[in-house]
Structure 1
Amino acid sequence: MRQRSRRLLVGAVTSLAALASGIAAVSLAGSASAAVTLNSSDVTANLWSWNWNSVSAACTNHLGPAGYGAVQVAPPAESVSLATSDSGVHPWWEIYQPVSYNLTSRFGTRAQFSSMVTACHNAGVRVYVDAVVNHMAGANNTLTTTYGGSTFSPSGYTYPAVPYGYSDFHHANDGYCSDDDAVIDDWNNVSEVQNCMLLSLSDLKTQDSGVQTKIATYLNDLVGLGVDGFRVDAAKHVAKADFAAIIAKLNNTTAEGVKPYIAQEIFTGASNSELLPSAFTSNGDVLGFSYAMGLKTQFNNGTLGNLSTIPSWSLDATSAQTAAMVTNHDLERDGTTLRYQDGTKYTLANYFLLAYPYGQPFVYDGFTFSTSSTGQSPPADSSGFVTDTNCSNSAWQCLTQSTGVKGMVGWRNATQSVTTASNWTTTSGNVIGFSRGSLGWFGLNNSSSASTATYTTGLADGTYCDRITGGASSTGCNGTAITVSGGTASVTIPAGSAVALDVNARSGGGTSPTASPSASSTSSSPSPSASASSSPTPSPSVTTSAGTVQATFNVYATTSTGTDVYVVGSNSGLGSWNTANAIKLSAAGYPIWSSTITVPGNSSFEYKYIKKDASGNVTWESNANRAVSTGSAAITYTNSWNVANASATAVTFNETATTTTGTNVYVVGSIDALGAWNTTNAIPLSSANYPTWSKPVVVPQSTTFSYKYIKKDASGNVTWESGSNRSYTTGTAATYTVSDTWK
């Protein structure tokens, strides 16, 4: 919601106590989320106004396999339902007029919302909710129909389903709002902005501890269902201290055990420093309005070369505290930013958003609309309930599912450990190129003619596959192949397009991520006992019969307690894609899981790894099916979870380091197999040969990566070794060993 664009709107009753008692139950149900493995990506798909079934499908079929880290969804609370209004039938903005904190909305039921969160988590995707906490419905409403049947009185300021009463809201000249009509008139007056009504929306008295508790109870209900974070609507209109008190009451997330992520809507433009976005960062990240507007200026003026000066721009907050975007539902409607109607420029700006190291990128997809009727409803039935998203229908925006954007998500994930742009080249005012260290190179052409130039890429020599046009395949490139020699490459960037090369998309390095096998092969959910006992692992000493060979499967995969790793594939020896018959691997060498299995000789087959928790819930790895062939001799497959290529190698890290009791040594690095620089996912080394700490780790072949060693004490405090990052490059051998000393 924004102060300049919010329109005014011309719900079974649940008490707060009943809602609170429900939180305990859903927290237990949601605890299964703790077993999932979430993508280590900072990219969020903002699927605004998509219903819960459609978000579930997007997570499973596109966002998870492509490597998105999160999905942002529309407000799930029950709202007013307007069959008529000044903007037509069921305008989009009715969802920002809550009447209760029940989860029955125009996007689906509570059960559908919960299923959506589970589906997204199983696909590796976090869920962020658009939370409306500043206000309830408009005090001047004349219609009181709602999506869940709850009742409310606009003029009486009563919402019995929460419950809220008259004293829970700000009113004219009540000692907080010093304004005769109780509506904000002075947008630079802090007291008025935060204590009076935003366009007649009933403003909650967030100074009140009871109101804070009710808001926190709502948010904790969502956290208990597995929600990982919140985009906080109209956060400028809640005093910082009030919102800090609400945040302090929030529970840790069920999937990762951390405080929910917070991104605050603080629209830029105020002259009062207390109302600027940077003033609110103590409570969380802020939306990058200035960045989005700056992108529009450069893309429209044909001055992409000016993007090299972004570090000197006057932006809303630091990179680390910005939810960056090209547009959102408010901005696209008033045209202050690029929007889907801008065609190629809009697409290119989203590529740049994902390529440039500023902020945490939110890629937006809503629904199409007429610029002359910006309040219109998303596609819905006659009662206002939003219908399923159909990306073959022009009524929906589906940029997040395009080959180019999904390719750029993979590119960003491969390069995210490098936080600066280097080797910047401005070929012309509208053609640029830059690298992210030695991990990736990106070129952009916002002109009407193809551009060919030689660029310093920062990449090691080799053949790379353009992510925009399809990335790598197991035998070559699905996308355009580009050769780097001596660190440079001659690149032709098509008119109105881009080229993206990175270390994880080399020729022959694997296909673009796909969904798991068909639903028919993934639908079985074995009981916990079946999961643990019905898939025996043959002994390596089993005699090989005619026509079969022994295949050893090694995979690097981290899991939570009670979760095991299995292999399943297209032949009967690997369960014929039936997860109930998948082969359980041994964790004796954890985090490397391994077993030897009898498979057909002289044949071709496909396989993937899955994880099963104690309840039999199955999580598929998100990369493409692994396609291999056997001969007449025993064979070994060495892989890493979610790494697409079938060719991997084991690197044994030996680190000499002395420690105190309770402190252990870990290795962490720039690739997923080494935790992608996330110390939580660092690889623990064994102290069996102290003071040498050692562990084999499965990493991709023919890959250059950076790494360092860290120490963690019993309290989880991390100490990094000093000096620059270490670097290593694998080839095609089966094993490698590195020996280092703590520095």
Structure 2
Amino acid sequence: MVRPDVVLHAFNWKYQEIIDRLGEIKEAGYGAILIPPPLYSDVHSDHWWQCYQPKDYRVLLSHLGGKKELEELIKQCHSSEPQIKLYADIVINHMANEDRGDRLDFPGEAELANYRHNRDLFEANKLYGDLNEGLFSGFDFNRTGNIQEHEWWDRERVIYGDLSDLPDLMDSPWVLLQQRTMLAALVDMGFDGFRIDAIKHITTRMIDNFADSEALAGSYLFGEVLTTNDEEERIFLDPFLQETWISAYDFRLFQTIRKAFEMGGSLRKLARPENENNGLPWDRAVTFVVNHDLPHNDDFREFLLEPRDEHLAYAYILGKDGGLPLIYSDHNESVHRYHQDHDRWYDAFKREDIKRMIRFHNEVQGKEMTMLYESDLVLVFGRGDCGLVAINKGGEHTSVEFSTHCLKKSSVYKDLINNNEMTISGDWFTLSINPRTAQMWLCQSDLAVNDGV
């Protein structure tokens, strides 16, 4: 079996909690974990967005934990068999929005005094550098003001403007050196890769500065190029794909999934998305059904799938070939504003349907995907000669007939999601699918011995 690669986004989890739950994470079949930004942020605030406002590159400390816990987490992940990779979310577009007179000095005079007063604490959590000195000053920022509503289609303004008063770093030699040094130090600690936050807001020069650095050779890099329509893809995503080599969240596929599952949409759009420019190239895509921005931001909540469609969409991204699937699992952070979110993604990482889908994904990794049946409401495709995925988004029971040319004949298959069994024989087969359900079948001879999942 190919090495597990599904990424768990442990959103806003404390590092010690991840350490304590590594057994559960491994048992669920994950191959990697994405943690929130570890750079120094306000330790007295547990708001999820606080980690996205760094105060200093040279310190690893937040309300989620510090350097000691991170070192232990890396050690535990890498001592697992098979090894679990650890990715860190990194913010390099901007620094924290702080209400103080020297708001463009980082970490600022008050924080430097705090370093001196609590020297042992900050030296223990130091990543690199001399904490007696400041890191950035007003000379290190693009001072062009906030991006205005009418400017969100202007790529230059999106790159050089401020996001909601967050000081926007320029790509000067000093800033680039600090970013390169910070990421190299994280690699030395043992991090296997990085998600680059708000990457459509930074210059290609800033991206190339770390992406092409020798220290990061071998690291997995992916960025958040947040787009919601074809025009934004043309302005931001297409240049990113042309000008860089790193991977990205597959917002293009996500929008295709969303439209396919909406009323009047067609699942045919998901049959060959990459060929029809409805998804990123298979080797540059981080696929997802929900990410942390969608539940927490008013502007993006309209893009959330209905819970049942979310289940079906997970079957699709974990059943299909290509892309690196990411599973979002939170602690009800969005419930404070949106009560309907209660327990929707809480501990989603170990939800039984998700675990069964990951098991299917791990079993069929690298096996060819063959489309067997497609209509507006139903999609059926094979994975190699031992896997079969069926999705019915419609509200009625349906039966579909398809050729079995790519599957093992006269073999018993087990549906991992619903725990049913069937025998496939002959050149044609008729499959029955209940309304609003997905099936993921594996040939019994290819199933692991433990049938409990």
TM over 0.5: yes
Relative contact order higher in (CA < 8 Å, ≥ 6 apart) = 2
Q: Partner of 1:10 in structure 2? A: none
Distance in 1 (alpha carbons) for counterparts of 2:428 and 2:440: 14
| Larger proportion of strand | 1
2:218 aligns with one of 231, 254, 259: 259
Matched, 1:483 2:423: yes
1:314 aligns with one of 277, 281, 289: 277
Tell whether the 8 Å contact from 1:188 to 1:270 is kept in structure 2 after alignment: no
- How far is the alpha carbon of 1:261 from its aligned partner? 0.6
Post-superposition CA distance 1:650-698 (Å, at most 9, x none):
xxxxxxxxxxxxxxxxxxxxxxxxxxxxxxxxxxxxxxxxxxxxxxxxx
Q: Partner of 2:381 in structure 1? A: 434
Q: Label 1:513 to 1:205 Cα distance change in 2 as closer, same or farther (>3 A).
A: farther
**Which residue identity does 1:430 align to in structure 2?**
L
Match of 2:271, SS state, is helix
Question: Aligned residue pairs: how many?
Answer: 416
1:111 aligns with one of 64, 68, 74: 68
User: What is the TM-score of this pair, normalised by structure 2?
Assistant: 0.81
Tell whether the 8 Å contact from 2:105 to 2:138 is kept in structure 1 after alignment: no
- How far is the alpha carbon of 1:432 from its aligned partner? 2.4
- How far is the alpha carbon of 1:171 from its aligned partner? 4.1
Distance in 1 (alpha carbons) for counterparts of 2:142 and 2:336: 35
Q: Label 1:416 to 1:498 Cα distance change in 2 as closer, same or farther (>3 A).
A: same
- How far is the alpha carbon of 1:425 from its aligned partner? 3.8
Distance in 2 (alpha carbons) for counterparts of 1:155 and 1:311: 43
Q: Partner of 1:533 in structure 2? A: none
Runs of at least 4 residues off by over 6 Å: none
Distance in 2 (alpha carbons) for counterparts of 1:69 and 1:405: 14
Q: Partner of 1:363 in structure 2? A: 327
- How far is the alpha carbon of 1:93 from its aligned partner? 1.3
- How far is the alpha carbon of 1:105 from its aligned partner? 1.2
2:173 aligns with one of 199, 202, 209: 209
Q: Partner of 2:307 in structure 1? A: 343
Q: Partner of 2:134 in structure 1? A: 163
- How far is the alpha carbon of 1:217 from its aligned partner? 2.2
**Which residue identity does 2:426 align to in structure 1?**
G
Aligned 1:632-671 pairs, distance under 5 A: none
- How far is the alpha carbon of 1:463 from its aligned partner? 0.9
User: What RMSD in Å do the two structures reach over aligned CA positions?
Assistant: 3.1
- How far is the alpha carbon of 1:369 from its aligned partner? 5.0
Aligned 1:270-349 pairs, distance under 5 A: 275-281=235-241, 282-301=244-263, 303-315=266-278, 317-333=280-296, 334-339=300-305, 342-349=306-313
Q: Partner of 1:128 in structure 2? A: 87
More displaced 10-residue stretch of structure 1: 152-161 or 41-50:
152-161
Distance in 2 (alpha carbons) for counterparts of 1:353 and 1:262: 20
Matched, 1:499 2:424: no
Aligned 1:216-255 pairs, distance under 5 A: 216-249=180-213, 251-252=215-216
User: What is the TM-score of this pair, normalised by structure 1?
Assistant: 0.51
Tell whether the 8 Å contact from 2:56 to 2:106 is kept in structure 1 after alignment: no
Identity over the aligned pairs, expressed in percent? Answer: 22
Q: Partner of 1:50 in structure 2? A: 13
Tell whether the 8 Å contact from 1:465 to 1:480 is kept in structure 2 after alignment: yes
Distance in 2 (alpha carbons) for counterparts of 1:109 and 1:280: 33
- Name structure 2 gaps, 5 residues minimum: 113-130
- How far is the alpha carbon of 1:264 from its aligned partner? 0.9
Tell whether the 8 Å contact from 1:482 to 1:489 is kept in structure 2 after alignment: no
Matched, 1:199 2:157: no
Tell whether the 8 Å contact from 1:82 to 1:91 is kept in structure 2 after alignment: no
Tell whether the 8 Å contact from 2:222 to 2:247 is kept in structure 1 after alignment: yes
Distance in 1 (alpha carbons) for counterparts of 2:275 and 2:262: 20
Distance in 1 (alpha carbons) for counterparts of 2:189 and 2:428: 50
Match of 1:293, SS state, is helix
Distance in 2 (alpha carbons) for counterparts of 1:286 and 1:508: 32
Tell whether the 8 Å contact from 1:65 to 1:513 is kept in structure 2 after alignment: no
Q: Partner of 1:353 in structure 2? A: 317
1:67 aligns with one of 12, 23, 29: 29
- How far is the alpha carbon of 1:434 from its aligned partner? 1.2
Post-superposition CA distance 1:230-257 (Å, at most 9, x none):
11001112211222122333525xxxxx
Q: Label 1:483 to 1:270 Cα distance change in 2 as closer, same or farther (>3 A).
A: closer
